[in-house]
Amino acid sequence: MPSIPSPPSFPRRPRVYLAGPDVFFRDCASIFRALKAECERLGMVGLAPSDAGIDEGFDGTDDSRAQRIYEGNIRLIREADGVVANLVPFRGHEPDSGTVFEVGFAVALGKPVVGYGVAEGSYAQRVCATVACVSDGEGVLREADSGVMVEGLGQRLNLMLTRSTVLVPSARDALARLAEMLGQRASMRGTTGVWPGDAIAGNV
């Protein structure tokens, strides 16, 4: 009698890298506790940015400390199944540059990224609310003083971010959306045994 094949098994819960400038905030520990708790509620594991095990007794140089933190976070992103990114404006109109790097790195690895913290309306509208802007003779929006073009196209952020990620209002929304996306990917993996993007990320 032929044996009945077992359904595909998933030995671990999806892992989510929690990108954002939250590491710089005084209450970062409570922020990450809340994010990890929400991940648990959704059946996922939250991975906060790492200090790579550096403690107060670390006596290396600033460069060696920075390198270890960089390598630790790169490793976490590689290990993650997806990324949730806080893209709130940070010290200006743009998101935190380190977070933007992490988003691009994750996208290049084929991992889904969901962003939050971006105000409604376009990037151009936010710039023009604080910087004098004018349309030139060809209808291109520019800063009045410098003549530098202000990106248009109605995007809420630079198009390289808006076209590579999903944007939702809040962290809770972002985690719920990512859980949904990873669930769809898990269904795809059931037929192949491989997560989409795993070959690129080196996880197979």
pLDDT digits over 4-51, tens only?
554 444 457 999 999 999 999 999 999 999 999 999 999 999 999 986
User: How far is residue 129's CA from residue 157's CA, in Å, rounded to a whole number?
Assistant: 15
User: How far is residue 200's CA from residue 26's CA, in Å, rounded to a whole number?
Assistant: 36
**What is the band of 58 on the pLDDT scale with cuts at 50, 70, 90?**
confident
Ranges of beta strands (E only) in the chain are 15-19, 45-47, 82-86, 113-116, 133-135, 141-143, 166-167
Q: Which amino acid is at 62?
A: D
Backbone angles phi, psi at 114, to 5 degrees: -120, 125
Please give the average per-residue pLDDT across 174-197, as a whole number. 72
Q: Which two tokens stand for residue 109?
A: 């690895």
Q: What is the pLDDT of residues 17-26, one digit of tens each?
A: 999 999 999 9
Residues 6+ away with beta carbon under 8 Å from 83: 16, 17, 19, 77, 102, 103, 106, 111, 112, 113, 114, 178
User: How far is residue 163's CA from residue 133's CA, in Å, rounded to a whole number?
Assistant: 25
The 8 Å CB, 24+ separation contacts for 49-57 are: 49/17, 49/18, 49/19, 49/23, 49/73, 49/76, 50/75, 50/76
Whether pLDDT at 164 is above 80: yes
* Least confident interval from 49-53, 58-62, 70-74: 49-53
Residues 6+ away with beta carbon under 8 Å from 75: 50
Please give the average per-residue pLDDT across 173-202, as a whole number. 67
Whether pLDDT at 188 is above 90: no
* Least confident interval from 54-68, 70-84, 105-119, 121-135: 54-68
* Least confident interval from 14-18, 115-119, 199-203: 199-203
Proportion of the chain above pLDDT 70, given as a percent: 82
**What is the band of 53 on the pLDDT scale with cuts at 50, 70, 90?**
low
Please give the average per-residue pLDDT across 181-190, as a whole number. 75
Whether pLDDT at 56 is above 70: no
Handedness of CA 194, 196, 199, 202 (dihedral sign): negative
